[in-house]
Amino acid sequence: MAQHFVIVGAGECGARAAMALREEGFDGDVTLIGAETHLPYERPPLSKQGMLAEVFAATTIATAERLAEAGVTFRSGLHIDAIDRSAKRLLSADGGAMLYDKLLLATGASPRRLPNTEGERIVYLRTLDDARRLRSELLPGRRLAIIGGGFIGLELAASARARGAEVTLIEALPRLLSRAVPEHIAMQIQARHVLEGVSLIFGDGIAAIENQVGAAAVQLGSGRRVQADLVLVGIGALPNVALAATAGLAVDNGIAVDRHLVTSDSDIFAAGDCCSFPLDIYGGRRVRLESWRNAQEQGTLAARNMLGAGAAVANVPWFWSDQYELTLQIAGLSDEGASVVRRDLGGGATVLFHLAADGRLVAASGIGIGGAVAKDIRLAEMLIARRASPTARDLADPSMKLKSLLAA
């Protein structure tokens, strides 16, 4: 009897896993389940180029034809309510049930919500429907208040300004991207937003958001009041773990998996934004990553391991953000560093190398126009993976090719 592998979550990770199962030669049944009614689509463009396109359209990961050709059964608009682990059965909101031999949870994450702030003028961005609604509001002269100075808030600030909307961004901490990038890079990003006309408010919390007729007002802790036509909340995301937790699976800042993406149930895997996993290159530190590339890579790895490959997570974390003409790229975990070495590439492009106390390169953060830092970040990523310890002098010297350090 053919085995049945089921994937819950039809985003980047889940869709990639479904296709990878076929690429790896699995000839059993594959079912991909998505809670949304859309075909699997890319999420990064929702806050970036998708907002700027003349006609908004999602970038489809896999068309209906491609899924059918691969023999993947795609169930859209289906919510899974529970996992009966003893019977290896999924129970859906419509009362149906589905048996599985192996199960992959690729349930992603959801926006962190501000308490007691619901209303039609308050929006979040996670789904294609969210993006379509938001884009329709970003018109010349419209006032957008953004709560949160992280990547989503900043990318949308850039997109909104490009579409002619007025933007006020409110960040409770003293600077932008406090937890994500070094201050030097954050200040470059801040300066670019100020140049574009974004009004920035730092060190002030949200006391209340008032819904008015066709508008809203943000009341700050300082007493300041920000009038807006729309309020976007971008204060981070939480992993979707309810399904796993209710089934009794271990949860630790996400669905807890081992280095092979196996949960506390050997027949259930988890991958992508929803899971936390140990990274060998950082001494087994458990991390959870919200990034496009991690979702794609883990989808492929989970598929291989569902088939018995037993391969460990080994990729270096990587992230990027586009804002105006600037591109930010990060490889590794910068908070593992004890010191920073700066390399100026010219034209305003900069790469910061983060070294551990023992001299090992553990991360690199770069910013520049277009692809100015892409090559250096890619080579730094390879050095991190090799646990290399290049000298600070070599890293700081732009004439010293990183490729030569890799060869050494």
- HEC letters along 197-219: CCEEEECCCEEEEEEECCEEEEE
Q: Is residue 359 part of a domain?
A: yes
Find the distance separating the first CA and the last CA of the chain, reported in whole Å: 53
- Alpha carbon distance 58, 39 (integer Å): 9
Contact 320, 185 (CB under 8 A): no
Q: How far is CA 165 from the centre of its chain?
A: 25
| Residues β-bridged to residue 363 | 332, 354
Q: What is the DSSP letter of 124?
A: -
Please indicate, yes or no, whether residues 100 and 249 belong to a single structural domain of this protein: yes
Are 285 and 368 in a shared domain? no
DSSP state, 335? G
Asked whether residue 312 is domain-assigned, the answer is: no
Domain membership of residue 319 (yes or no) is: no
Q: Which two tokens stand for residue 299?
A: 């989808």
CB within 8 A of 408, min separation 6: which ones?
none
Whichever domain contains 332, its CATH number is 3.30.390.30
Residues 285, 331, single domain; the answer is no
Tell me: do 54 and 97 sit in the same domain: yes
Surface-to-core class of residue 143, CB atoms within 10 Å of its CB (0-12 exposed, 13-18 middle, 19+ buried): middle
Judge if 275 and 245 occupy the same domain: yes
Residue that the structure tokens 């059964």 belong to? 73
Q: Residue 210 and residue 127: Cα distance in Å, rounded? A: 24
Distance between CA atoms of 400 and 393, rounded to whole angstroms? 9
Q: Are residues 246 and 213 in the same domain?
A: no
Count of domains forming the chain = 3
Continuous H helices in 109-150: 128-137
Whether 315 maps to a domain, the answer reads no
Dihedral sign for Cα 243, 244, 245, 246, please: positive
* Model pLDDT, residue 357: 97
Burial of residue 287 (number of CB atoms within 10 Å: 0-12, 13-18, 19+) = middle
Write out the H or E segment, with its range, that includes residue 256: strand 255-256
403 and 331 share one domain: yes
pLDDT at 182: 93
**Would 318 be classed as within a structural domain?**
no
Task: Tell which of 211, 233, 255 closes a domain.
Answer: 233
Element (H, E) at 160: helix 151-162
Measured CA to CA, the distance from residue 346 to residue 399 in angstroms comes to 11
Give the domain-ending residue among 273, 306, 339: 306
338 three-state secondary structure: coil
Residue 320 in any domain: the answer is no
Give the neighbor-by-neighbor strand order of the sheet with 122-123.
122-123, 230-233, 143-147, 166-171, 199-202
pLDDT for 212: 83
Write down which residue in 233, 251, 282 finishes a domain.
233
User: Are 19 and 50 members of one domain?
Assistant: yes
Q: What is the domain-level CATH number for residue 213?
A: 3.50.50.60
Q: Are residues 49 and 105 in the same domain?
A: yes
Q: How far is CA 12 from the centre of its chain?
A: 10
Report whether 166 contacts 144 (CB < 8 A). yes
Residue range(s) defining the domain that contains residue 211: 113-233
pLDDT at 208: 93
Round to whole Å and give the CA distance between 266 and 30.
18
Instruction: State the Cα torsion 163-165-168-170 to the nearest 10°.
Output: -50
Of 127, 133, 152, nearest to 40 (Cα)?
A: 127
Decide if 346 is inside a domain.
yes
Same domain, 29 and 106: yes
Show the low-confidence residues of the chain (pLDDT under 50).
none
Instruction: Please check whether residues 105 and 118 belong to one and the same domain.
Output: no
Task: Tell me which residue has tokens 């859209």.
Answer: 76
Q: 334 lies in a domain? A: yes
> Minimal CA–CA distance to 321: which of 174, 203, 188?
188
Cβ-based neighbour number of residue 362 at 10 Å = 24
237 DSSP β-pair partners = 111
Tell me: do 229 and 245 sit in the same domain.
Answer: no
Phi, psi torsion values for 346, nearest 5 degrees: 90, 155
